[in-house]
Structure 1
Amino acid sequence: MEKMTMMDYIKETPAQAMKNIEDYATLCAPLVNYAEEKKMRRLWLVASGSSYNACHCARSFLMHTLQMEVKITTPYTFTWYEHAIADDDVVIVVSQSGYSTNAIAALDKIRALGYIGVALTGNVEHDIKDHADLVFDYGVGEELVGYVTKGVTTLTLYLMLFAIAYTKRSEKLDEVKKAIKLNEEMIDKAQTFVKQHYKDFSSMHSIYVCGAGAGYGIALEGALKSGETIHIPALPLEMEEYIHGPNLQLTPSYTVLLIDGNDAASNRVQQIYQATRSVSEHTFMLSNAANLDDDHILTLSDMVESDLTPLVYLPFVQVLAAMISQDLNSVKQHPLLKKFKSYADAKTASFINYDEDD
């Protein structure tokens, strides 16, 4: 039996997402019940890597639906620097694999402070369970490849579904379902788009990925995926911050991907796109802007509200990383990374490297 690939899991995502939407009340009930018991006034999401990025993808939707502060921090920062928890805070430590040493350390810190340790994971039987009082499954199913894709989208979705269930706003589900249908369309169109611009994408030496609002989470994940699979410097930037310094090193050889929220800020995004395109032909945008006819802009048949944009646009950055890294065979790590991990590993000893990339 052939090993599963990033692309396999990307293609599995819409079906898993639709299943989770149909089962959302049951899937989210454990966390909803806990949050109700706590009389939640503020939500903390403690996560790293792709889980951190997924939390940012969901943050705008969470804030606007829950009508409360949503604080996102990394486990390292939480453990050592920022852990002033209030009694009515709900603090969730996220780790898809259930093997992340920093997530485990954050849970240990929470319990040492006298609070309940809550873990949200894709693998409830992995090591994280031994460091948490409550362990919730967010519904990714199986994903063995370390460069996670299905897990990012399903975690983003779970957090959104939690907000819907907690606030009893089931009328929002139709728009969420629409987003997942567009997710499937994006998977197909992204593959065509990457092939259409294959010389550009297969020769990247660096990439800026820019977004704002919910799109900032996509930018974070797009940069991470390009960096860890294609092995090029990849920088995520908030849209306007990009033109306050980082743009000054642009040359015609740079690759820049802009993510439009298709909202009131779209005109500014389009201005920044045109400005960047005037310097580099390796400039691309995800947007449904009707006034721009440009083959460097990927458009879909429809769009959803801006807060749901990650459910629609995440597949593009995933497909890009999957296709280019596979063709370039670029995921193999430098031999010295084994020495690096002997000093400072990010996973527990139970972790099995399915990718065999080291």
Structure 2
Amino acid sequence: MKTYRLAIVPGDGIGHEIIPAALKVLEAAAKKFDFNLDYTFFDWGAGRYLKEGAFMPEDGLDTLKAFDAVFFGAVGLTEVDDTLPAKLYTFKVRTAFQQYVNFRPVKLFKGLESPLRNKTSKEIDFVVIRENNEGEFVQSGAFFRPESPEGLATDTSIFTRKGIERVAHFAFKLAQKRRKKVTNVTKSNTLIHSLKYWDAVISEVGEQYPDVKLEKMYIDNASANFILHPEYFDVILTTNLFGDILSDLGGGIMGSLGLGGSGNINPEKNFPSMFEPIHGSAPDIAGKGIANPVGTIWSGAILLEHLGETAAAGQIVDAIETVFQQGVKTIDLGGTARTEEFAAGVIKALNA
């Protein structure tokens, strides 16, 4: 029997509710599919920062290296500068562990209605592949005399051939397993150096996948088509910033940000990958037991798929859909189900 070692980082806010709920689902899947989960909890996040001045210990990354994957809730508290969580935890892990693929599926579950009129689960089913280590989020910049009338600030985006090629190969290989279409979402008509280069390298990679159709779409047009024609998309390949925005928009057309799961993936498995819901820590509802656990449960399914437990992952997603088809909805979706109640429903459907 296989055993997978998981580092569990609930983080802050609702992370302490959605992670335990999702873990119960993963445990049920492990029992059904005959594998073990061995996990260790870490109290890292903004709460730790308030107490000790750091989101994680100095040797935190070395500690995480020993695990097969990291299961993460959300990070951030209102009392902590909101520029710090990404810098001192999320980006730090993603970069150190070369998690250059941010995998964010968008799927309208049967049993739910999208905010988009007349769009069904057939039209809303795609994946956003966001470059996760470079681009606009490298935080290379500075303030120059910010208090003066001539003050200015800079942020420099960085795009490398290696960085573009590796995420592009992942996207094309994924498309080969789906509907064989990649949409490069870009803005190279105005960012005429960085994203012109991005486009060119993606086109070169695309030539190695003649069975996959490659289309280019500017970010403004893509944003409109998320609303008007989500059926246009299969695999979206885009930059760090654009992917961050589009994947939240994807959560919106699914019905709630609470539904979105994601993986920060190191495809080569040289380092552990990290899996987390797309939403934040929502401290305003923390402790009330009403947070939507679906994004976290789905992230757990993506984690299992990454580890090779594809059957278990698929059945977890099917079980989520079954619960929705039974008419059970969380409060953010207009229902009454609480966090633990919904997770229990998923476990029941999984074991049916």
Is TM > 0.5 for Structure 1 vs Structure 2?
A: no
Higher helix share: 1
**Structure with greater contact order relative to length (CA < 8 Å, sep ≥ 6):** 2
